[in-house]
Chain A
Amino acid sequence: MVFSSLLFLFGFLPLFFLVYYLVPARARNMVALIGSYFFYAWGAPRFVLVLAATTIVNYGLSRWMAHIKDRGQDHARRVLILALILNVALLAYAKYANFFVHELNAVLSAFGWHTVFWTNIVLPIGISFFTFQQISYLVDVYRGTVPPAARWTEYALYVVLFPQLIAGPIVRYHDVAEQIRERVYDVKKFSYGIYRFCLGLGKKVLIANQLGVVADAIFGLSLNHTALPVTHAWLGLLAYGMQIYFDFSGYSDMAIGLGNMLGFRFLENFRMPYIATSFTDFWRRWHISLSNWMKEYLYIPLGGNRVALWRRYLNLWFVFLLSGLWHGANWTFIVWGAYHGFFLMLDKLFLLRALEKIPLFLARSFTFGLVLIGWVFFRSPNLTYAGDFLVRLFSFRFVGDIVPDYVLAEFVSSRSLFTLGVALCICFIPGWKWTERVTIYVREHASQGWKWSLKYSISFVLFLLSVLSLANSSFNPFIYFQF
């Protein structure tokens, strides 16, 4: 069940709110827990037991770890290591075993040896997110940042809370521990949640889904037999760059909005990443929860900034390699991670200083251009395709064959071009100086009522337009009876 579905919006959510707010406040954790397990079981009925089992095992290990800490840090460390191995092993098996066996078999075949027999494993949805969250909890307990959850239900709720279970943001335990025990429910928080949720829904349905059609059509072309003009290639890449941002940030907005409606405050996950002035700045704005997690639980334990320069760069690159791998089991994601790691290293070496010296507009354009090129790897099905696509981006071929023209006619409508324009405006206009001035002026001079009515009018228009789009996509008639 996805947030942007009619069943979720008009089936699950109304029923859930009804029960959640009818029960006394002390029972709401249990309602949220049951609702969240149901939510997960709906989409992954076979894996809900895996999810429950991981929470039981990890909770047990965290209690054990806290208990034996008195005997010495070494004992606790051994339990932590065991816990980390179990979690990483589960993630590695569920998400990467297929990939590793496939690559191993490719090598074995190349040498003419027998390949390994393997039945592909189905990936449990959300496993990357809930594994990282559980690791964050275990490390926080080990470090003493937070005590272990008093009850398993509190811990389980942290892991499976449905707003952030499937696609983040990755919530660190110490950010929400207090809220799980006690949180404030008020109309202001709920209404803010509505605003964020509607914003996110609009981003996902009205922008990401629309531009996804364009990106899918262009990236779906077989480049072996298609002369793709450079204009089409950049259009497809731009559409994808916007799709991935609005899809992901839209989902985060919905998660934050739902969290607020349930009384929780989650941290922000995106902060206008495409106006970043460097890769360093980009990663302070894009998937902030992941970069915070990587920094806190990987980069710093590897030595952080305390080690020698060469080791620092290596660690940075390694962290981003893993970050790429975390996104998916394919060489394209690893290369994408390495690409970002490379530019982050350059930032540390000289690039950051150089970019600070040039006009803001140029620094932003330079960074955005490179980030966009990086998305080629993220989107391509394999490295060969990525290479071909990159060639076409810089081919200066302006005439193609019929296939791309037809694709444009079929999939690039006036609405999708308008949507692309809107998406670009949303991404870049807030970064302009005069936008900031207008915002400050409005904040200082406009009445509260006017501001609020504008904010919620926009929210509800986005909500309604999104629902219109979702309803329409659910109706697929034939012209005549098809027997």
Chain B
Amino acid sequence: MHFWSRVAVIFFLSLLYLPGVQMVLRIVPEVELQGVVVESTRPRLTPQAWLSGAFQDQLSQWFEDRLGFRGHLIKTENQLNFSLFHDISAQTKTKIILGKDRYLYEYAYVHNWNGQDILPGAVYVKALEERVRNFKELQEALRKRGITLVLLLSPSKASVYPEFIPTAYHSPLRTQRNTYYARLRPLLDAAGVEYLDAREYFLTHKATSSYPFFTRGGTHWNYYGACLIARELILRLETLQQKDMANLHCEPVIVDNTTYGTDRDLAHLVNIWDDAAFDGPTPHPTITTSGGEKVFKPKILWVGDSFTWTLLSIMDSRGIYQSRNFFYYYNRNSSFPEGKEVALDQAAIDWEKDVFSHNIIIIEASETAIPEFGFGFVEDAFKAISTPGSS
């Protein structure tokens, strides 16, 4: 009996001390976890910090972030829940839903698909109408200056592939509700706004397409889907600009089970050991351009959300434009070909130099971003263009 007691004590104490030892000495390589977190720093002990409890909270967070074997522990927990219970237990800020056939969805998009995120009352409708009006006015004002403004509506996986959404997440009231998208489309048409509806494009071509437009493990369109939209966008811009641009081609398509980049952004967040759990036949387009050397290569400004990144990864390196800037959520500016990314100070924008020097401005909005499409850029730009001499 004493022997077993001693074994139990030694084993328990080993379990207690091992993470701390690993934390300090890093004997075993730590497993990297996917996802973006705010790095915690070791707090400074001051009487105020102690009395307010801030020091304790920060030290707890710092300790947890650096605990030895943390990556191993988290991946094991998530793997156990996935394998035994078919649950996604990752405690992500972006809630992930495990759909049928291992399709992953962001909760926000399923919520949006159900029309659950609509604000009550007519307030939001008025706000949307005003936003469309502002957009049309800006479009006209920019057209007069020879700048083409286009709205690109990005689809969500939930809209294009609702068949994989678990039945428990199908709201029986869904068909009685309007989504933001359903509200927006007639407003755009009535106002005569120039836009490209990628959602409509995907739904129209879904049945006849040989390849899916979204991967199981990604929240954004896959590279094939993005290539098709980029191609359509360029064709639309040619019509609007009345100039030939380099055209994109997305065939032939190679299908295999490898996924990378945004094709597996949700799968990454799940943080399980089985890396290939959400992989499946994935189309990889062979992207080429045509049009020759004398095509028009504009300067493009994008304002949008994360759906834009996949488009840029296709278009940046294929000579579609001479340069581009991307106002990510109208909060950060990523530029090509410089390859820089900096915080965007909206108050400090030199509108003539930073915005109206572009030939084309594209505002991209995903379905959940529709209520605030442009993220304030449209209103600021219209104010800037309407005020002579202001920047």
A and B, one complex?
yes
Q: Digit string of A394-433 for contact with B (CB within 8 Å is 1, else 0)?
A: 0000000110011011100111001000000000000000
Instruction: Pick the contact of A475: B4, B37, B94, B107 (CB < 8 A).
Output: B37
Complex interface: chain A residues within 8 A of B41 (CB):
none
Q: Which residues of B contact A (CB under 8 A)?
A: 1-2, 4-9, 11-13, 15-17, 19-20, 23, 33-37, 50-51, 53, 56, 59-61, 63-65, 67, 70, 73-74, 76-78, 80-81, 84-87, 89-95, 106-107, 116, 166, 168-169, 171-173, 219, 265-266, 269, 271, 306, 329, 331-332, 343
Proximity string of chain A (1-40) to chain B, C-beta cutoff 8 Å, 1 when within and 0 when not: 1000111011101100100000000000000000000000
Instruction: Tell me if A406 and B2 are in contact (CB < 8 A).
Output: no
Tell me if B94 and A479 are in contact (CB < 8 A): yes
Q: Determine whether the beta carbon of A46 is less than 8 Å from that of B13.
A: no
Q: Mark A448-483, 1 if CB is under 8 A from B, else 0.
A: 110011001001100110011101111111111111
Please indicate the chain A residues that have their CB under 8 angstroms from the CB of B106 in the complex.
479
The dominant DSSP class at the B interface is helix
Residue pair B91, A472 in contact (C-beta under 8 Å): yes
Candidates B60, B76, B87; contact of A415 at CB < 8 Å: B87
Q: Say how far B11's CB is from chain A's closest CB, in angstroms.
A: 7
Which residues in B have their C-beta under 8 angstroms from that of A6?
A: 60, 63-64, 67
The 8 closest A-B pairs by CB, nearest first: A477-B35, A409-B168, A471-B73, A468-B77, A191-B5, A452-B4, A474-B64, A415-B85
**B37 to A456, Cβ gap below 8 A?**
no
Interface residues in A324-358 by Cβ distance below 8 A to B read: none
Q: Is A369 an interface residue (CB 8 A)?
A: no
Assess the B70–A471 pair: CB atoms within 8 A. Answer: yes
A188 to B2, CA, bound (A): 7
Determine the distance from Cα of A17 to Cα of B8 in the docked complex, in whole angstroms.
Answer: 16
Give the contacting residue for B91; candidates A191, A401, A413, A475; CB below 8 A: A475
Of B77, B116, B266, the residue contacting A406 (CB under 8 A) is: B116
In the bound complex, do residue A402 and residue B171 qualify as a contact, i.e. CB atoms below 8 Å apart? yes
B169-A409 in contact (CB<8A): yes
Say whether A190 faces chain B, with CB atoms less than 8 Å apart: yes
Question: In the bound complex, what is the Cα–Cα distance between A448 and B3 (angstroms)?
Answer: 11
Q: Are B77 and A460 in contact (CB under 8 A)?
A: no
Q: Are A453 and B4 in contact (CB under 8 A)?
A: yes
Taking CB atoms, residues of chain A closer than 8 Å to B12 are: 191, 194, 198, 460, 463
Chain A min CB distance to B368 (Å): 13
Selected contact of B94 from candidates A42, A478, A483, CB within 8 Å = A478
Which residues of A line the B interface, CB within 8 A?
Answer: 1, 5-7, 9-11, 13-14, 17, 42-43, 45-46, 187-188, 190-191, 194-195, 198, 401-402, 405-406, 408-410, 413-415, 418, 448-449, 452-453, 456, 459-460, 463-464, 467-469, 471-483
**Contact of B166 with A409 in the complex, beta carbons under 8 Å:** yes
List chain B residues, Cβ under 8 A from A409: 166, 168-169
A288 to B183, CA, bound (A): 61
Evaluate contact between A448 and B332: CB separation under 8 angstroms: no
Can you give 13 contacting A-B residue pairs, CB < 8 Å? A14-B17, A45-B50, A45-B56, A191-B4, A405-B171, A415-B84, A449-B4, A468-B73, A468-B80, A469-B77, A475-B33, A478-B35, A479-B35
Closest CB in chain A relative to B309 CB, distance in Å: 9
Complexed CA–CA distance, A191 and B84 (Å): 31
Distance to closest chain B CB from A411 (angstroms): 11
CB distance from A262 to the nearest CB of B (A): 14
Nearest-CB residue, chain A, relative to B37: A477
Note all chain B residues with C-beta closer than 8 A to A474: 61, 64-65, 70
The answer to whether A463 and B168 touch across the interface, beta carbons within 8 angstroms, is no
Compute how far the CA of A11 lies from the CA of B219 in the bound complex, rounded to whole angstroms: 38
The answer for the CA separation of A463 and B19 in the assembled complex, in Å, is 14
Contact, CB under 8 Å: B67 / A10: yes
Q: Give Cα A402–Cα B4 distance, bound, in whole angstroms.
A: 55
Q: Which residues of A contact B61 (CB under 8 A)?
A: 474
CB <8 Å contact, A11 and B20: yes
Flag if A405 contacts B34 (CB, 8 Å).
no
Interface of A is mostly: helix
**Which of A9, A410, A467, A474: most chain B Cβ within 10 A?**
A474
With contacts A13-B16, A479-B266 taken as known, whether A190 is within 8 angstroms of B9 at the C-beta atoms is: yes
Query: Residues of B contacting A482 with CB < 8 Å?
Result: 36
State A43–B57 Cα separation when bound (angstroms): 9
CB atoms of A477 and B50 under 8 A apart: no
Docked complex Cα distance between A106 and B173 (Å): 41
Question: Which partner residue on chain B sits nearest A10 by CB separation?
Answer: B19
- Tell me whether B63 and A7 are in contact (CB under 8 A): yes
Q: Which residue of A lies closest to B171 (CB)?
A: A402
Closest A-chain residue to B98, C-beta based?
A413
Q: Given A415-B85, A468-B73, do A10 and B92 touch, yes or no (CB 8 Å)?
A: no
B51 touches A7 (CB 8 A): no
A194 to B12, CA, bound (A): 7
Known A-B contacts A402-B172, A477-B269; the reply to A414 vs B70 at CB < 8 A is: no
Complex: chain A residue closest to B70, CB-CB: A471
**Bound form: Cα–Cα A472–B72 in Å:** 10
CB A188 to nearest CB in B, in angstroms, measures 5
**Which residues of the partner chain B approach A472 to less than 8 Å between Cβ atoms?**
73-74, 77-78, 89-91
* Contact A191 B265, beta carbon cutoff 8 Å: no
Verify B36–A481 contact, CB threshold 8 A.
yes
The residues of B that contact A453 with a CB separation of less than 8 Å are: 4
Q: With the chains together, A10 CA to B17 CA distance in Å?
A: 7
Which residues of the other chain, B, contact A481 by a CB distance below 8 angstroms? 36
Find B93's partner among A13, A467, A476, A483 (CB 8 Å cutoff): A476
Q: Which residues of A contact B90 (CB under 8 A)?
A: 472, 475
CA distance A384 to B146 in the complex (A): 64
A44's closest neighbor in chain B, by CB?
B53
- Tell me which residues across on chain A come within 8 A of B219, comparing CB atoms: 479
Chain B residues near A43 (CB-CB < 8 A): 53, 56
| Nearest-neighbor residue (CB-CB) of B268 within chain A | A479
Known interface pairs A10-B67, A449-B4; A463-B15 also in contact (CB < 8 Å): yes
The reply to whether B343 and A483 form a contact with Cβ atoms under 8 Å apart is yes
Q: Which listed residue, B34, B64, B116, touches A7 by the CB 8 Å rule?
A: B64
Contacts of A406 in B (CB 8 A): 116, 169, 171
